[in-house]
Amino acid sequence: MKIKVISDEKHAGLKYYWFFCPGCNKPHMISSTWSYNRNVDRPTFNPSIRVQDGETKTVCHSFIRDGRIQFLDDSHHSLAGHSVDLPDWVEPTFD
């Protein structure tokens, strides 16, 4: 499973999709307003996903297509311009 799907009980029909970003080395979230192929093993989302860290102002911009993440050139990490397999989802642990 590449993504975790969470349903929002307070807002009927709204879902959140979590995936682990190997460029940022942390999870990112997408809301159900994106189109999604409903495949947790080979997900595809549209449009692109742009995450900006409010504290550091870093940007992660990508497409997820058929279980791969394509990082766009405006991403602020070492995987900018590269495509890699989306890693399996692992529940985070808190020490």
Tell me: the pLDDT tens digits for 67-94? 999 999 999 999 999 999 999 998 877 6
Q: Taking the complete model, does pTM exceed 0.75, yes or no?
A: yes
What tokens does 15 get? 């879902």
**Are 33 and 47 within 8 A, CB to CB?**
no
Domains of the chain by residue range: 3-85
Using alpha carbons only, give the angle 87, 9, 50 rounded to the nearest 5 degrees: 40
Residues with Cβ within 8 Å of 59's Cβ and at least 6 positions away in sequence, in order, are 50, 51, 52, 53, 74, 75, 76
**Are 82 and 71 within 8 A, CB to CB?**
yes
Question: Model confidence at 32, in pLDDT bands (50, 70, 90)?
Answer: confident
Question: Model confidence at 61, in pLDDT bands (50, 70, 90)?
Answer: very high
